[in-house]
Amino acid sequence: MPWLRRGQLLDGGPTPWSATHAALPVAEARSDGLVRVYFSARDTEGRARIGYVDFDGHRWGSPVRRSMTPVLDLGELGAFDDRGVTSSWVITAGGQTFQYYTGWMLGVTVPFYLAAGLAVSGDGGETFKRWSRAPILDRSPVDPLLTASPCVLLVEGRWRMWYVSATRWSLDGRTARHHYHIRYAESDDGIDWRRDGRVCIDFANDAEFAVARPCVVKDPDCYRMWFSCRGDRYRIEYAESQDGLTWTRLNDRGGLAPSESGWDAEMVAYGYVFDWGGCRYMLYNGNQYGRTGFGLAEWCPD
């Protein structure tokens, strides 16, 4: 595999604003030379909020700065994100920072409902304000069950999104199990999205039931996607596309499997790939969906 693990960057211990987990990391290269990593942490009731840590990417050691309060807190009672907000993607356009996220609500017949939301910052990512009290990608005839984990690129004036959509829920005894894969949407402004159900990454086999958290990079020769998939346990897989619509899985060229031991031996998931300082890196979560925090791997294909 081309990824060289650089180790755990941040454990899932308490932060100034939450109790456990450091999940779904998202990197942002900043003008001050630091790399900001937004992530989601949970309180004692399991509710997630979004904050950040800043790293010196020349050393990749301990964080040099942490947010003392969440940059995005729980939604209002009854809203699509009143049970939690989890980080998904950050993009800067027109002098504003767009934070795409997943909002959580508790369910009754199923454990949760998810929908993709948007918050916007005008102060360089120190604080974010919801674009709307409603999600930007709600349930619809195209996506009737849930949407989540938007990945957004602005390519030649066209906003392109790859996101998670559920195909069904099933019952395993009395436990409801989600089944979701990755679909595609487009927009003229990053806010209002057109979607027709185009599937980009589908289930590889009957054992696979969760294809999650897409991360797309556009290189000169092709689009590259890293995504999480789960049968018995989560792993990170890899695919390529010439147009961003039709994808070929090529896991042997760029995936990441769990380690033999340690903080990421049970699972690896929620990879975020980015370029900084002439190198390509992946942030990713380890055991228990981010309870052990996130780590760093470096792309070394040769």
Task: Collapse the DSSP code of 287 into the 3-class scheme (helix H, G, I; strand E, B; otherwise coil) and give the result.
Answer: helix
Alpha carbon distances (Å) from 194 to 141, 152, 158, 162, 199: 12, 13, 12, 12, 14
Asked if residues 137 and 115 have their Cβ atoms less than 8 Å apart, the reply is: yes
Q: pTM for this structure?
A: 0.97
The one-digit pLDDT tens for each residue of the chain (302 residues) are 689 999 999 999 998 999 999 999 999 999 888 999 999 999 999 999 999 999 998 889 889 999 999 999 999 999 999 999 999 999 999 999 999 999 999 999 999 999 999 999 999 999 999 999 999 999 999 999 999 999 999 999 999 999 999 999 999 888 999 999 999 999 999 999 999 999 999 999 999 999 999 999 999 999 999 999 998 899 999 999 999 999 999 988 899 999 999 999 999 999 999 999 999 999 999 999 999 999 999 998 76
36: tokens are 């900001």
- Counting runs of H as helices and runs of E as strands, what totals does the chain give? 2, 20
Structurally, what CATH architecture does the domain formed by 3-299 represent?
A: 5 Propeller (2.115)
Asked if residues 228 and 214 have their Cβ atoms less than 8 Å apart, the reply is: no
Phi, psi of 254, rounded to the nearest 5 degrees: -165, 10
Asked if residues 203 and 218 have their Cβ atoms less than 8 Å apart, the reply is: no
Task: Collapse the DSSP code of 217 into the 3-class scheme (helix H, G, I; strand E, B; otherwise coil) and give the result.
Answer: strand
